[in-house]
Chain A
Amino acid sequence: MPSRERLQALRYNLIPDHLIGEILTKRWTDNAIPFLVLVAVIALFGTAIPGFFNPFSLQESTRQLGEFAIVVIGLTVVMLGGGIDLSVGSIFALATFASVGSFFILGLPVWAAFLAALATGALFGAINGYLVGFLRLRAFLTTLVTFIIGRAVFDILVVQFGAAIQMSFASSDAWDFIGDGTFAGLSVPVIAAGLLALVTHVTLTRARIGWHILAVGGSRRSAHNAGIKVRRTVFLTYVFSGLCSGAAGFLIACRLSGAGPGTGAGLEILALTAAVVGGNALGGGRGSVVKGLMGAVIVLVMTNGLIRLGYGTGTNQMVLGIMLAVAVTIDIRWLKNRHKVLNEVYVAPVYLKMGEPQSAEPHSGTPYALNNRLAAAEHIGLGELEGPEDVILDADDHLYCGTRHGEIVRYFAPDYTRSEVFAHVGGFPLGLAFDRDGNLISCVGAMGLYKIAPDRTVTRLSAETRRSLTSVQDDARLRDPNDLDIAPDGRIYFTDSTKRYDAHDWTLDSIENRGTGRLLVYDPRDGSTKTLLDGYRYTNGVCMAHDGKSLYFAESWACRIHRYWLEGPKAGTAECVIKDMPGYTDNINRASDGTYWMAWLGMRTPSFDLSLRHPAMRKRMTRRLPQDDWLFPNINTGGIVKFDDSGRILQTFGDLTGENHPMVTSMREHKGELFIGGILNNRIGRYRIEGADPEWTGMRAYWGTRA
């Protein structure tokens, strides 16, 4: 091996490039930038301001932070629902006045002052919510106007009652404690903000209403179509924001024991900047309470820091303006380009040197030499079918196959011209097998393992396995269940081809060529699913050996067949039986003479084999070329191979014309005939096998005469 190639092998097989793409798919990566800014801001001002970290100073600044954070949490929830609330400053001021007025002028107890603040916030929020939610006005402008109205009302109230408040002698220990006291070193606003953040976070991520809010923010129309009461949900977000601002207003009322013209001034742009700088998306659907909190800390540390460092009037506005503009621009650009970045970096090819295959050229004299026998196959369902990946026949000779539309179609014996939709499963039903009781079990691409009873009821058997400890991406989910077979004891062995790509992106997996395919077993006795083997390059067909003591499975992109032992001295281990085949291996099924049929979904080409030794080239290809120009495995020619338990190749069948069965993904022998499926074909082939047992059926071979 030349050293250049050795270097490439080391570089692409040892450095886990694929993790970058997987990490980028995580929603929490959005938090990375705000978090770095947070650390930088605190470090900067913490060192520039003497005594920044001393406990008393922290206690005082966090008191203000608590109030501010409560307002930001409310605004965050509104933004998650796709709206915006600029009136928070007015609500805050009015609520402050409500509690101060109740306490000092009316002489009400503290709890009544608190309720007055909450009621003010809820009422104001309800007005906003009605206008924006039910009347569907534009949120920004509407809350801007209600903000001015609220401010005008507040100014009038302060002028009228300001003197009366200052003259009052009302006092209360509870009021003072909320304003000045601490509990275990924490001030009341900080505790309140912490509790609110926790409750809001849990509600947003776990509760029904939280999901509704995120759904409405993510896509209003889809949420409506899904039956969510969009208008009411939007309404509630504004009420919540009003309540938050109300509570914050009460806290500052206790702290300052008064309300003046400056109360809540400029709060709207502070809160908005905080929410956006923290990484909450404008327009909704993406964001979290944590983001809001990070933004609140950044903005408050920054603005207070600038004041404490003695910068003059206006510096704050300047910095806030820049922060808002930069944060919004980054947010918009990131949202717009995120999927492009992800597309660019997700495919991370690895190095593989395939072994030299024996030729499959016609008349080459090798056991693999292709011929034109399949050109003689008759067709079933020509033009009616789309994507019969696997086919199977039941005890009454009826023929079943899955389709691209998520259906299982049944063709009636004996001539297979009439058909019906046997069951609608969804996804893309791939591998099929009958169990002892005549239930049809299917590996449904993108969904999982499903059972269709003879009365057509569809039951999900398994959609997940145990997550592996080192996985970045959730690999518990079955992304591409491909084929299955059933052991004599009823356990279902099946493959999940890749952890990295969804079922319809299987071609991308072939270009990446990373070994993430698995062999799993589902146990019907306790409903558990276990991963038996992992790390194969696209595990595909599965077939029980005739004696039921081992099974064969195909590893498509490596062009190999492995044998996995269920019992005997090698139980639980796998060994490679056939390697370096000239075609990409697919489904395997039993043949009547004690051997096995195996499909080739396509043939290897020297060019693609070479490209597998050049991962850098494939990486460049996926980044720079449109997908139509990519080099893919050849799937325009396939075939069928027959092999025996010793791994010897007995026969091959091909369609050199490329007209009937260019690609083959499955074949079933039944009463002397071979039924042929292909995932990209529009027909099922029917081929009479010379010398085959005309009475042999798969059902009897598996489950005896009883079935």
Chain B
Amino acid sequence: MGFLGSLNQERIVFAIAVAIFVVAALTLPGFFTADNLVAIVRSVSVLGILALGMAIIVIGRGIDLSMVAVMAMSVAWYLQMLGNGMSDGAALGLALAGVVAIGFANGFLVAYAEVPAIFVTLASASFVYGLVRSQLIGSDAVPVPPGHWVAELGALRLADVPVEVFVFAGLALAAFVFLRFTKWGRYVYYAGDNPAAARNVGMPVRPMLVLRYVLSSLVAFAAGILTAGSLQSMNTRVVNSPQLYDIVLVTVIGGIGLAGGKGGVRNVLIGAALIGIMLNAMTILDIPLLYQNLIKSAILLAAIIFDGVLNPRDEQTAQQGDI
């Protein structure tokens, strides 16, 4: 074993992140400055928050492709209701109820109808986008009403650090405590590793599944509020952008296996660090956005291939139809 044996995806990615960081710090002007470092962390905060929600789902052997749609459309609807003059409490209550309903519907179809998570969430993403866009909001982008708390939140700085960094840190800590120290957090690993066995020993596998999808929807809503705060509006076109794949990228690249039962918050942080450093370096290098997309997706493909080679699918226990 020795050195090669101790190599796993997490360590390799961490080493690459450090290497890029060092090279960029030495060669790129303006990279290794306090402002830029804050910018790096800020740029991945929202992504990181979304990835935390995704991580909890993936560890439990699932995937949530509706996160971006829920994020954008719930907040856009919320802002639209505010813009229409509804009271803040009622609007927030309605938006949260909608978010919980979508999470619940996702979880219910996955847990009780046993439809593959990928299809459920792909369909619900399309449905959420279509429903909100066609029925509930008037245009692609919905502005934040001036002086509203969401706008103030976006402008909030603590010691020159934007508030979403603290939210990310706080949620990361919460997710860590949940996964590591609470009973239901540990259950997520068991259910992800072997759902049938987890069910046989008496864990409430199905209700837990529903809970996880509700959680990830709520996380998406929180990330949406932060996005709206920093941009002062919510542009629903983000649903058609590759942001969803960035979330999967951050989640998977740090070493959380898609087969479930593996990884934790640390892996998300490492993944977020790599992507943040890389995006920042590419932006300083002035690589166009189109090429950045290409590079990111190529890295994601490499990560998936790597994941596939490190954790090959077991043909004997893989279920038929598990695609």
Which residues of A pack against B, CB within 8 Å? 82-84, 131, 135-142, 144-146, 148-149, 151-153, 155-156, 159, 219-221, 224, 265, 269, 272, 276, 281-284, 311-322, 324-325, 328-329, 332-333, 336
Q: What are the 10 tightest A-B residue pairs by CB atom distance, in nearest-first order?
A: A283-B321, A318-B130, A321-B127, A314-B133, A317-B130, A321-B126, A314-B134, A325-B123, A152-B294, A324-B123
B residues within 8 A CB of A324? 119, 122-123, 126
The answer to whether B134 and A137 touch across the interface, beta carbons within 8 angstroms, is no
B residues within 8 A CB of A139? 323
B residues within 8 A CB of A336? 114
Q: Select from chain A the residue with minimum beta-carbon distance to B113.
A: A329
The answer to whether B290 and A325 touch across the interface, beta carbons within 8 angstroms, is no
Asked if B250 is at the interface (CB within 8 A of a chain A CB), the reply is no
Asked if B297 is at the interface (CB within 8 A of a chain A CB), the reply is yes
**A282 touching B119 in the complex, CB below 8 Å, given contacts A83-B323, A321-B127:** yes
Assembled-state Cα–Cα distance A475/B148 (Å) = 76
A residues within 8 A CB of B309? 135
The answer to whether B308 and A135 touch across the interface, beta carbons within 8 angstroms, is yes
B residues within 8 A CB of A140? 118, 323
Most chain B CB within a 10 A radius of its CB, from A159, A325, A336: A325
B residues within 8 A CB of A320? 123, 126-127, 130
Asked if B43 is at the interface (CB within 8 A of a chain A CB), the reply is no
Assembled-state Cα–Cα distance A148/B119 (Å) = 18
**A137 touching B308 in the complex, CB below 8 Å, given contacts A148-B293, A221-B315, A328-B119:** yes
Q: List 10 A-B contacts (CB under 8 A).
A: A137-B304, A138-B258, A141-B258, A145-B301, A317-B129, A317-B134, A318-B126, A320-B126, A321-B124, A329-B115
The answer to whether A146 and B301 touch across the interface, beta carbons within 8 angstroms, is yes
Asked if B2 is at the interface (CB within 8 A of a chain A CB), the reply is no
Asked if B222 is at the interface (CB within 8 A of a chain A CB), the reply is no
In B242-272, the 8 Å CB interface with A consists of 242, 245, 248, 258
Asked if B128 is at the interface (CB within 8 A of a chain A CB), the reply is yes
The answer to whether B290 and A155 touch across the interface, beta carbons within 8 angstroms, is yes
Interface of A is mostly: helix
Which residues of B pack against A, CB within 8 Å? 63, 109, 113-116, 118-120, 122-135, 240, 242, 245, 248, 258, 290-291, 293-294, 297-298, 300-301, 304-305, 308-309, 312-313, 315-316, 320-323
The distance from the CB of A161 to the nearest CB of chain B, in whole angstroms, is 13
The distance from the CB of A29 to the nearest CB of chain B, in whole angstroms, is 20
A residues within 8 A CB of B135? 314, 318
The answer to whether A314 and B119 touch across the interface, beta carbons within 8 angstroms, is no
Q: Select from chain A the residue with minimum beta-carbon distance to B249.
A: A145
The distance from the CB of A370 to the nearest CB of chain B, in whole angstroms, is 51
Assembled-state Cα–Cα distance A281/B321 (Å) = 9
The answer to whether B298 and A315 touch across the interface, beta carbons within 8 angstroms, is no
Give which listed residue, B258, B290, B321, B322, contacts A152 with CB less than 8 A.
B290
The answer to whether B323 and A138 touch across the interface, beta carbons within 8 angstroms, is yes
Give which listed residue, B113, B291, B300, B308, contacts A138 with CB less than 8 A.
B308
A residues within 8 A CB of B125? 321
Q: Select from chain A the residue with minimum beta-carbon distance to B242.
A: A148
Assembled-state Cα–Cα distance A320/B133 (Å) = 14
Most chain A CB within a 10 A radius of its CB, from B114, B294, B312, B313: B294
The answer to whether B291 and A333 touch across the interface, beta carbons within 8 angstroms, is no
B residues within 8 A CB of A313? 133-134
The answer to whether A325 and B124 touch across the interface, beta carbons within 8 angstroms, is yes
Assembled-state Cα–Cα distance A403/B63 (Å) = 52
Assembled-state Cα–Cα distance A138/B63 (Å) = 13
The distance from the CB of A199 to the nearest CB of chain B, in whole angstroms, is 26
Assembled-state Cα–Cα distance A313/B128 (Å) = 13
Assembled-state Cα–Cα distance A152/B299 (Å) = 13
The answer to whether A149 and B290 touch across the interface, beta carbons within 8 angstroms, is no
The distance from the CB of B257 to the nearest CB of chain A, in whole angstroms, is 11
Assembled-state Cα–Cα distance A146/B130 (Å) = 25
A residues within 8 A CB of B316? 221
Give which listed residue, A149, A311, A328, contacts B298 with CB less than 8 A.
A149
B residues within 8 A CB of A152? 242, 290-291, 293-294, 297
Give which listed residue, B122, B258, B291, B322, contacts A156 with CB less than 8 A.
B291
The distance from the CB of A148 to the nearest CB of chain B, in whole angstroms, is 4
Assembled-state Cα–Cα distance A329/B108 (Å) = 11
The answer to whether B304 and A145 touch across the interface, beta carbons within 8 angstroms, is yes
Give which listed residue, B109, B127, B245, B322, contacts A318 with CB less than 8 A.
B127
**A312 touching B301 in the complex, CB below 8 Å, given contacts A221-B316, A282-B116, A321-B124:** no
Q: Select from chain A the residue with minimum beta-carbon distance to B312.
A: A136
The answer to whether A149 and B294 touch across the interface, beta carbons within 8 angstroms, is yes
A residues within 8 A CB of B123? 320-322, 324-325, 328
The answer to whether A144 and B245 touch across the interface, beta carbons within 8 angstroms, is yes
Give which listed residue, B126, B300, B315, contacts A317 with CB less than 8 A.
B126
Q: Select from chain B the residue with minimum beta-carbon distance to A333.
A: B113
The distance from the CB of B238 to the nearest CB of chain A, in whole angstroms, is 14
Assembled-state Cα–Cα distance A170/B129 (Å) = 41
Assembled-state Cα–Cα distance A149/B320 (Å) = 28
The answer to whether B120 and A321 touch across the interface, beta carbons within 8 angstroms, is no
The answer to whether A317 and B133 touch across the interface, beta carbons within 8 angstroms, is yes
Most chain B CB within a 10 A radius of its CB, from A148, A155, A313, A315: A148
The distance from the CB of B248 to the nearest CB of chain A, in whole angstroms, is 8
Q: Select from chain B the residue with minimum beta-carbon distance to A283.
A: B321
The answer to whether B120 and A325 touch across the interface, beta carbons within 8 angstroms, is yes
Assembled-state Cα–Cα distance A283/B258 (Å) = 18
The distance from the CB of A496 to the nearest CB of chain B, in whole angstroms, is 34
A residues within 8 A CB of B298? 149
A residues within 8 A CB of B131? 314, 318, 321
B residues within 8 A CB of A142? 301, 304
The answer to whether B297 and A332 touch across the interface, beta carbons within 8 angstroms, is no
Assembled-state Cα–Cα distance A561/B15 (Å) = 86
The distance from the CB of A216 to the nearest CB of chain B, in whole angstroms, is 11
The distance from the CB of A304 to the nearest CB of chain B, in whole angstroms, is 16
The distance from the CB of B92 to the nearest CB of chain A, in whole angstroms, is 23
Assembled-state Cα–Cα distance A312/B126 (Å) = 15
Most chain B CB within a 10 A radius of its CB, from A83, A265, A276, A324: A324
The answer to whether B290 and A156 touch across the interface, beta carbons within 8 angstroms, is yes
Give which listed residue, A151, A283, A312, A325, contacts B109 with CB less than 8 A.
A325
B residues within 8 A CB of A328? 115-116, 119-120, 123
Give which listed residue, B126, B128, B320, contacts A269 with CB less than 8 A.
B126
The answer to whether A321 and B128 touch across the interface, beta carbons within 8 angstroms, is yes
Assembled-state Cα–Cα distance A144/B63 (Å) = 13
Interface contacts beyond A156-B290, A322-B127: sample of 4 additional A-B pairs, CB < 8 Å, sorted by A: A146-B301, A152-B291, A269-B126, A321-B131
Assembled-state Cα–Cα distance A155/B292 (Å) = 12
The answer to whether B119 and A220 touch across the interface, beta carbons within 8 angstroms, is no
The answer to whether B130 and A316 touch across the interface, beta carbons within 8 angstroms, is yes
**A145 touching B297 in the complex, CB below 8 Å, given contacts A138-B258, A220-B320, A328-B120:** yes
B residues within 8 A CB of A221? 315-316
Assembled-state Cα–Cα distance A221/B317 (Å) = 10
The distance from the CB of B106 to the nearest CB of chain A, in whole angstroms, is 10
A residues within 8 A CB of B109? 325, 329
B residues within 8 A CB of A317? 126-127, 129-130, 133-134
Assembled-state Cα–Cα distance A284/B63 (Å) = 21
B residues within 8 A CB of A322? 123, 127
Assembled-state Cα–Cα distance A322/B290 (Å) = 32
Assembled-state Cα–Cα distance A56/B226 (Å) = 51
B residues within 8 A CB of A329? 109, 113, 115
Assembled-state Cα–Cα distance A142/B133 (Å) = 29
The answer to whether A156 and B320 touch across the interface, beta carbons within 8 angstroms, is no
A residues within 8 A CB of B293? 148, 151-152, 155
Q: Select from chain B the residue with minimum beta-carbon distance to A326.
A: B123
Give which listed residue, A145, A153, A281, A283, contacts B322 with CB less than 8 A.
A283
Assembled-state Cα–Cα distance A139/B320 (Å) = 13
**A131 touching B305 in the complex, CB below 8 Å, given contacts A311-B134, A321-B127:** yes
Assembled-state Cα–Cα distance A538/B316 (Å) = 42
Assembled-state Cα–Cα distance A153/B313 (Å) = 30
Give which listed residue, A148, A156, A276, contacts B297 with CB less than 8 A.
A148
